[in-house]
C-alpha cells in the first residue's frame, strides 16, 4: 500500500471542475496583467488591501502554520508518534507559502520586482520588510525540508542524507521565523487604530495572530489528514493509517488547550481596553459569533472528542476552526476595517477577485495531488523503512 501503481482516472467530476477553474483563472490572470489591477478589483484609495491580502495572504499564512507546529512537536519535543504527519504538513505549508507569494504577484504586480526588497533596497524599519524577509527565508527552509522526499523519489541517497542531518536546525530556524512573521502580520494593523473597529484592534493584536496560528496549524493538519485519508487512502502505508487517529486526537487535545488560552487573553484584551460597551452593538454580536461560535465552541468539541475518543468530533472541530481562522483574518483585514465609512464607500470584492482566489486554491490542490502521487509523502519509502526523517 502506498507503493502500488494504480490506473489513474483522468475524467472525473473533480478533474473536470479543476480544469474549468484553472482555465478561467488563466483568463483572469491575463486580464490582471494586461489591463491593470483596476480592471479586475474593486480596490480604491480607501481600501488598498482587498481579498487577495485578507484571504490569500493572512489566511494562507495562518493555515500553513501546521508545518512549524508538526515539525517542532516531532523533532524538538520528541513526540515521534506525530512523525507520519510531518511530511504532509511540511508539504502543505510549503505549498501554502508558495501560493501566498504567488498571490502577492496579483496584488502588487511586476513579478520581476519580487527580489527587490530583499536584495536591493531593504526598508529595515518597515514591518512589511520583516514579514517579507521572514516569509522569504521560511519558504526557503520549507523547500529544503521537502527535498528528502524528492531525493528519495529520484534516488539521490547522498543528498538526502545531507539534508536529513539538518532536520533539527531547519526545524528550530523555521519556528523562529514563524514566530516573527505570524505575529508581525497582526502588528501590521496596529498602525491603523482609527480604521480598525475597537473590538478587533488591540495592543495585543500581534499576540492574537501568533497564538491563533498555532491552533490554526494543528486544525489544518487534522483537516488535511482527514481529506487525504478520504481521497488518497490508497497512497498511505500501514504506518500512516495506524498513526492517523493518534495524530488527530493528540493535536485535537492540544488545540483545545491553546484555544481556551486564546479566549482568555481576548477577554483580558477587552478588559484592558475597556471595550465591553461595544458588545451590546451589532458589531459586538458579530465579534461574539467569531469568538464564541468559532473558537470556544470548537475548543469544547475538541476536548469532548479527545476525552471520548470520538474522531468525528475532532474532524468537525478542525473544519470549524479552519473556518473560524478565515473569519477572524477577514474580519481584521476587511469586515471590521474602515468600519466607520459610509456603506457606499465600503469595499466588496469583485467576482474576478473571488475567481482568482479560487483559482489559486485549486492550483495548490492540484500541486498537492501531483506531488503525493509521485513522491513518498503519505508513505515511507521502502529503502528508508527503519528511519524517521
Tell me the pLDDT tens digit for each residue of 10-64.
778 888 999 999 999 999 999 999 999 999 999 988 888 899 999 999 999 999 9
* Residue where the block lists cell 494586461: 34
Binned at pLDDT 50, 70 and 90, residue 389 comes out as very low
Sorting pLDDT into bands at 50, 70 and 90, what band is 335? very high
Nearest in space to 332 (alpha carbons), one of 180, 201, 194, 184: 201
Question: Using CA atoms, how far apart are residues 170 and 292, in angstroms rounded to an integer?
Answer: 36
Q: What is the pLDDT of residue 285?
A: 97
Q: What residues are paired with 337 via a beta bridge? A: 196
pLDDT value of residue 3: 47
pLDDT band at 2 (very low <50, low <70, confident <90, very high): very low
Q: What's the number of CA atoms in the CB half-sphere (13 Å) around residue 198?
A: 12
Confidence of residue 369 (pLDDT cuts 50, 70, 90): very high
> Could you tell me the pTM of the whole model?
0.91
**pLDDT number for residue 242:** 82
Kindly report, residue by residue over 220-267, the tens digit of the pLDDT: 999 998 998 888 888 888 878 888 889 999 999 999 999 999 999 999
Tell me how crowded residue 153 is: count the other CB atoms within 10 A of its CB: 15
Which residues are CB-neighbours of 351 under 8 A, at least 6 positions away? none
What are the helix (H) ranges across 36-126? 51, 60-63, 66-71, 83-108, 116-119
Residue whose grid cell is 505549508: 93
The DSSP result for 244-263, as a single string, is HHHHHHHHHHHHHHHHHHHH
DSSP letter for 235, please: G
Structural domains of the chain in order of their starting residue, each with its CATH number: 20-378 (1.20.1630.10)
The pLDDT assigned to 387 comes to 61
Strand partners, 196: 337
Amino acid at each position: 500500500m502506498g507503493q502500488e501503481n494504480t490506473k489513474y482516472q483522468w475524467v472525473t467530476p473533480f478533474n473536470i471542475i479543476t480544469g474549468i477553474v484553472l482555465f478561467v483563472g488563466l483568463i483572469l490572470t491575463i486580464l490582471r496583467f494586461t489591463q491593470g489591477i483596476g480592471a479586475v478589483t474593486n480596490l480604491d484609495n480607501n481600501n488598498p488591501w482587498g481579498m487577495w491580502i485578507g484571504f490569500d495572504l493572512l489566511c494562507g499564512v495562518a493555515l500553513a502554520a501546521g508545518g512549524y507546529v508538526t515539525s517542532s512537536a516531532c523533532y524538538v519535543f520528541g513526540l515521534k508518534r506525530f512523525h507520519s504527519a510531518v511530511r504532509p504538513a511540511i508539504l502543505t505549508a510549503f505549498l501554502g507559502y508558495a501560493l501566498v507569494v504567488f498571490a502577492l504577484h496579483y496584488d502588487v504586480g511586476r513579478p520581476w520586482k519580487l527580489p527587490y526588497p530583499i536584495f536591493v533596497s531593504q526598508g529595515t524599519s518597515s514591518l512589511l520588510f520583516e514579514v517579507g524577509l521572514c516569509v522569504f527565508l521560511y519558504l526557503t527552509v520549507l523547500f529544503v525540508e521537502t527535498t528528502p522526499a524528492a531525493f528519495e523519489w529520484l534516488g539521490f541517497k547522498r543528498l538526502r542524507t545531507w539534508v536529513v542531518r539538518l532536520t533539527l536546525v531547519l526545524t528550530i530556524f523555521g519556528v523562529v521565523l514563524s514566530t516573527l512573521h505570524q505575529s508581525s502580520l497582526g502588528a501590521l494593523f496596529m498602525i491603523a487604530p482609527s480604521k480598525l473597529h475597537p473590538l478587533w484592534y488591540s495592543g495585543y493584536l500581534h499576540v492574537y495572530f501568533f497564538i491563533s496560528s498555532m491552533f490554526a496549524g494543528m486544525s489544518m493538519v487534522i483537516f488535511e489528514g482527514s481529506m487525504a485519508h478520504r481521497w488518497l487512502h490508497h497512497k498511505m502505508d500501514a504506518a500512516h493509517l495506524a498513526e492517523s487517529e493518534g495524530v488527530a486526537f493528540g493535536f485535537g487535545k492540544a488545540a483545545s488547550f491553546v484555544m481556551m488560552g486564546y479566549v482568555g487573553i481576548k477577554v483580558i484584551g477587552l478588559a484592558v481596553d475597556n471595550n465591553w460597551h461595544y458588545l451590546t452593538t451589532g458589531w459586538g454580536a458579530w465579534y461574539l459569533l467569531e469568538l464564541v461560535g468559532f473558537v470556544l465552541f470548537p475548543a469544547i468539541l475538541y476536548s469532548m472528542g479527545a476525552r471520548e475518543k470520538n474522531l468525528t468530533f475532532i474532524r468537525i472541530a478542525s473544519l470549524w476552526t479552519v473556518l473560524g481562522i478565515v473569519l477572524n483574518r477577514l474580519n481584521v483585514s476587511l469586515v471590521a476595517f474602515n468600519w466607520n465609512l459610509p456603506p457606499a464607500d465600503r469595499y466588496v470584492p469583485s467576482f474576478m477577485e473571488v475567481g482568482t482566489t479560487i483559482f489559486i486554491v485549486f492550483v495548490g490542490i492540484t500541486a498537492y495531488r501531483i506531488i503525493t502521487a509521485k513522491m513518498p509523502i503519505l508513505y515511507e519509502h521502502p529503502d528508508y523503512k527503519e528511519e524517521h526523517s
